[in-house]
Structure 1
Amino acid sequence: MTNTQIENPKILLETHHHPPTTWKTYFTFSTDHKVIGIQYIVTSFIFFLIGGILAMIIRGELITPEADLVDRTVYNAMFTMHGTIMLFLWTFPVLVGLANYLVPLMIGARDMAFPRLNAVAFWMVPVFGIILMASFFLPGGPAQAGWWSYPPVSLQNPTGNLINGQFLWLIAVAISGVSSIMGGVNFVTTIVKMRAPGMTFFRMPAYVWAVFSAQIIQLFGLPALTAGAVMLLLDLSIGTAFFDPAKGGNAVLFQHFFWFYSHPAVYVIILPVFGIFSEIFPVYSRKPLFGYKVVAVSSLLIAGVSGFVWVHHMFASGTPAWMRIVFMVSTMFVSVPTGIKVFAWVATIWGGKLRLTTPMLFALGGLIMFVFAGITGIMLSSVPIDIHVNNTYFVVGHFHYVLYGTVTMGMFAAFYHWFPKMTGRMYYEGLGKLHFWLSFIGTNLNFLPMHPLGLQGMLRRVSSYDPEYAFWNVIASIGGFLLGMSTLPFILNMIGSWVQGEKAPDNPWRAIGLEWLVASPPPVENFEEIPVVISEPYGYGKSEPLTANLEKQELARDLN
């Protein structure tokens, strides 16, 4: 079985003694990457619930054409906070948390390269989360300029108070950027320097390749956004004129700072989810990942191309015609390495012995919705279509099919798949499938109607609209409420299973990979003996032994 095969050459490393992990451990400054990973995941999920409540209030406002639920100022603040929370306090932290937990296990390392830096990076998340939430309640007024915070709107300060919602919003985003840069340094160093003996780059799981590629984007792109946020903060607080047109500044310059990172940020978010798909489809299809090396390299190719696409967000910002054409072509080119992945996943599933468990259902649902999001993404890369639907709900629908339909569905697939490894307990399959169907139906009901609304011309960020748009908005709001309900069986499942679920074996899915060769949950330093990797991953259905150890050979026979 040519897979992540290991030998045990009796390389016994020093063992550090740590107190046993209890629930109290998750409230401490732990340097264990697994504890930090779960801290990230749980913290970000709490903010996910807050962002979801804001989304349901927004959909409650939009269920009727009149603005009759909340004040317009409050509405502007709510969609600003919803977008900011879902990006900076849900998708980024939750993906970092999962990578924190899995990457050292998958590459045969005992921990991350810089454990204390890892802990500091996490504890900055609740700090900037609290600052961000506080910005909503300041008497000087909440942030209302959207999650992109374009000037000159973000520089308006009608109350004259220095400490207002927009000020705190910028402080929070800057802290978030520093935390993410610290995480990027840690991940890249860990993957390059701390792989187990024999774990060459082309023996790493596709998920590790995806995380590696995403963190390279972070290190190259995130300083631009962080610098832009700091410069905007200076404009707002001490009167500099980087972006203020009234003082000779250039408001479009901020858009370049913002999108130079914030469009590649989509790949920072989606690449780890692609890695999750690449891990889950082989397990539940009982087949090797088709074209493993090409899939791995395609992650790096996406990371490279991502640095040349940001201007397609600015086609309506006075961008020269020649620049529109260049960035239209570069944006379309991203579909090539992305299409390679999709074809590889379909080829992996095709003819396999499919097991439609909860993780597989979420992965398949995420793949289906990503294909649709990819089609509308290609449409938006075309200059004429983008100009037509710019600033309409078509863009909102596309964006949410990526962020919720693909990323969040992919994260739920990962939660269910690795839940037994993290907790030592099995989840309840019935509740998991109920969660999937509510999520899948709710996602499509919520975001699919936004596409015809956008094509008909309904603007985004409005709390009232022409009655001709009422039908699709009612459907979208029903879907939004259904999505809110879908989290209830998930919460019940996770808490109930963790507390009193059936005890999980070390490898309940008969999966292949180093993380499945340790106990559930893993010991503090992961491996008693550092493994020696002797082959590529994804050896499902092949006959060679998994390890030189007799017990592992028996496991290999079971896997076949």
Structure 2
Amino acid sequence: MDTTLTDRLTKIWSDSPGLHGWLSTTDHKKIGKRYLVTAFVFLLIGGVEALLMRTQLAGPNLDVLSPEAYNQIMTMHGTTMIFWYAQPILSGFGNYLVPMLIGTRDTALPRLNAFTYWTFLLSGVLLYIAPFMGMAPRGGWFNYVPFANDIYSPGLHIDFYAFALLFLTISTTASAINFIVTIFRLRAPGMSIDRMPLFLWSTGTTSFVIVFSLPALTAALVFLELERLWGLHFYDPGAAGDPLLWQQLFWFFGHPWVYIIFLPATGMISMLLPVFCRRPIVGYVWVALATVLTGLVGFGVWVHHMFATGLPQVSMGFFSGASMTISIFTTIQVFAWVATIWAGRPVIKLPMLFALGFIFLLVIGGLSGVMTAVIPFDWQVHDTYFVVAHIHFVLIGANVFPVFAAFYYWLPKITGRMMNETLGKWNFWLMFLGMMSGFFVMHITGFLGMPRRVFTYTAEAGWTLVNAITTLGAAVFALGVLVGIVNFFYSQRRGTPAGSNPWGADTLEWSIPSPPPVYGSVHIPTVASRHPLWDEHEEEADPDNRRVLADGKQVLATSSIDAIDGSIAQMPEESVLPLVTALLLLGLSLSLVFSELWWAGGFTLATLLSVAAWLWPESKEMTA
């Protein structure tokens, strides 16, 4: 390899040294790793909150937590896991992997990408300021009105929840736009839309779902704060408002969100399964179509959560049918995975082990979801621990297990070190057994009639044994996660070097060294099939160095459908302005929480000036 060329590319794409470079980087790999670490920290925080709740419920009439403390911890747990862990962890993988999967050197909007991370981090900081002030949110992650109104929830508890979420929606929406542009305009020449890795189908689908679903949550939160702070009556039935409006808006966002935190994980499984089965995935086209249709039909399922609110039977029948229909698309994916395993020659490595666990848990969670789509059954189990069991099988089974599979699969690429197999097996089996003993038993707890969201119960209720088993299972699951963390740090010191492609994988990220150089690939690759590293095509063959692009931070833009060579796009230099803008938005959010309108006006003006400086045209550079 031409060392002069690689040295030049390294100089072009490297960040400034020291603190300035750390704060101003727009390198998608560094931002992806920050997303992964930060989201995993939120997973650990949410896990500690879950263990506190399970300790309170381990036996009857315990007083480990007061009713107020339990409500606050329950709210923080659900909010943290669903909003600050489940989607951002997938954004971390997307940030790191998508540019390498499509053979480019960065995302389409690098500064916006950096901004999405800082707003994600600072929105979490805003949320967790509240507990240290004794004002943690206490209305549940769903935050139903009228309980969330100022009459029943005085103080700033709910305001911290609302403005932290509004802050987070900025990050999530901007990130989705960045993924859409990157996937559709920066793919390597020849990577037509029917040759994309399935992770790009799932990430692209969820990005569109985010853009169209998040405005409903934003509107719901704005209406709530206008009612709490300035006395408007969007949810007040005494003034022509309607408390069900919150549920309609929240779940119009909330059910698509289930697929936002699920579909990218299925895309990762669809990529790693063929590698360990030693054959292409069965039904690529059907899996891609099922992914897109899941995102589309997901918008017609939100009343699934409102069957007990007294809505007309005709409308509930429609949403019940939609809830059952959407299971067909997941069934197609499961069939494709099972058929790939059956037709291949499976090699049971750690990523494959977690993938198999994911499929098993997904089927259980999917079946319980179809059960709750049946309206009379839903009436019986609504607001019982059966629903808690279902959501944990969906969120843990269909998110946490694929995430661990992805960690074991891609950490050798990210770090250059292989993970320890023995510790990894302990990691899997403790998590799997803890999951089954902890959360499967919750179905029985629900059938026994235990309501969700209660902080204690009597011995006479008959729920002592099942709650003790669930608490023990949660502890075993937590131990499994701890073993996984130990494995990571152990492997960074003692793991064997990974090499560029330790799994014999088929996608472009495995064609470059581990860990990747700052510029990714020396030559922008070309693609001739869905499996570029398994065909006979030489991806980086470029005798005239036409695809080196070494005259600055440059990437190759291609057409959105067929990925035909287009133009050369100039990427912006690193900048601290994304961080400055995010900090100003944090100040604005805090000002609104405390109703300091003069401060809010000042931060609004400063934010606009920061954005103007960010977008000010620069010579030969894009400013996004």
Instruction: Work out which of the residue numbers 413, 417, 420 in structure 2 matches 1:428.
Output: 420
Instruction: Work out which of the residue numbers 454, 457, 460 in structure 2 matches 1:465.
Output: 457
- Per the TM alignment, residue 226 of structure 1 is displaced from its structure 2 partner at its CA by 1.4
- Per the TM alignment, residue 151 of structure 1 is displaced from its structure 2 partner at its CA by 0.5
Instruction: Work out which of the residue numbers 96, 112, 116 in structure 1 matches 2:111.
Output: 116
Provide the aligned C-alpha RMSD in A: 2.1
Query: Is the aligned partner of 1:90 residue 2:85?
Result: yes
Deviation sequence 1:173-220 (CA, Å, 0-9, x none)? 111111100011100111111111111111000111111111110011
Alignment match, 2:136? 142
Query: C-alpha distance in 2, partners of 1:396/1:53?
Result: 18
Alignment match, 2:538? 547
Letter in 1 for 2:262: I
Deviation sequence 1:114-158 (CA, Å, 0-9, x none)? 00000001001121111111222334x431110010101111456
Alignment match, 1:396? 388
Query: Is the aligned partner of 1:80 residue 2:75?
Result: yes
Instruction: Work out which of the residue numbers 515, 518, 525 in structure 2 matches 1:524.
Output: 518
Q: Is the 8 A contact 1:144 1:166 kept in 2?
A: yes
Query: C-alpha distance in 2, partners of 1:280/1:454?
Result: 36
- Per the TM alignment, residue 23 of structure 1 is displaced from its structure 2 partner at its CA by 10
Query: Is the aligned partner of 1:339 residue 2:331?
Result: yes
1:192-231 equivalences in 2 (<5 Å) = 192-231=184-223
Query: C-alpha distance in 1, partners of 2:188/2:261?
Result: 26
Q: Is the 8 A contact 1:136 1:142 kept in 2?
A: yes
Query: C-alpha distance in 2, partners of 1:314/1:321?
Result: 12
Q: Is the 8 A contact 1:425 1:503 kept in 2?
A: yes
- Per the TM alignment, residue 34 of structure 1 is displaced from its structure 2 partner at its CA by 0.8
Alignment match, 1:258? 250
Alignment match, 1:127? 122
Q: Is the 8 A contact 2:39 2:85 kept in 1?
A: yes
What SS does the corresponding residue of 1:425 show, helix, strand or coil? coil
Query: Is the aligned partner of 1:65 residue 2:56?
Result: no
Query: C-alpha distance in 2, partners of 1:21/1:440?
Result: 44
Query: Is the aligned partner of 1:104 residue 2:96?
Result: no
* TM-score (norm: length of structure 1): 0.92
Q: Is the 8 A contact 2:213 2:256 kept in 1?
A: yes
Query: Is the aligned partner of 1:48 residue 2:40?
Result: no
Gaps of 5+ in 1: 1-9, 551-560
* TM-score (norm: length of structure 2): 0.82
CA distance 1:104–1:372, shift in 2 (3 Å): same
Q: Is the 8 A contact 1:155 1:244 kept in 2?
A: no
Q: Is the 8 A contact 2:411 2:417 kept in 1?
A: yes
Query: C-alpha distance in 2, partners of 1:390/1:549?
Result: 56
Query: C-alpha distance in 2, partners of 1:244/1:116?
Result: 42
Query: C-alpha distance in 2, partners of 1:455/1:538?
Result: 51
Alignment match, 1:374? 366
Query: C-alpha distance in 2, partners of 1:220/1:356?
Result: 39
Instruction: Work out which of the residue numbers 478, 488, 491 in structure 2 matches 1:497.
Output: 491
Alignment match, 1:361? 353
Alignment match, 1:36? 31
Alignment match, 2:590? none
- Per the TM alignment, residue 57 of structure 1 is displaced from its structure 2 partner at its CA by 0.6
Which of 1 and 2 has higher RCO (CA within 8 Å, sep 6+)?
1
Query: C-alpha distance in 1, partners of 2:189/2:37?
Result: 33
1:269-348 equivalences in 2 (<5 Å) = 269-348=261-340
Q: Is the 8 A contact 1:25 1:35 kept in 2?
A: no
Alignment match, 2:576? none
Q: Is the 8 A contact 1:287 1:539 kept in 2?
A: no
Query: C-alpha distance in 2, partners of 1:159/1:147?
Result: 14
Q: Is the 8 A contact 1:389 1:454 kept in 2?
A: yes
- Per the TM alignment, residue 27 of structure 1 is displaced from its structure 2 partner at its CA by 4.9
CA distance 1:174–1:20, shift in 2 (3 Å): closer
Alignment match, 2:604? none
Deviation sequence 1:493-524 (CA, Å, 0-9, x none)? 11222244222100000111101001111121
Query: C-alpha distance in 2, partners of 1:388/1:26?
Result: 57
Q: Is the 8 A contact 2:523 2:540 kept in 1?
A: no
Query: C-alpha distance in 1, partners of 2:522/2:484?
Result: 34
What SS does the corresponding residue of 2:335 show, helix, strand or coil? helix
Query: C-alpha distance in 2, partners of 1:294/1:470?
Result: 46
What SS does the corresponding residue of 1:331 show, helix, strand or coil? helix
Query: C-alpha distance in 1, partners of 2:369/2:182?
Result: 33
Alignment match, 1:558? none
- Per the TM alignment, residue 17 of structure 1 is displaced from its structure 2 partner at its CA by 1.6
Which deviates further from its counterpart, 93-102 or 63-72? 63-72
Query: C-alpha distance in 2, partners of 1:51/1:157?
Result: 29
Query: C-alpha distance in 1, partners of 2:443/2:104?
Result: 46
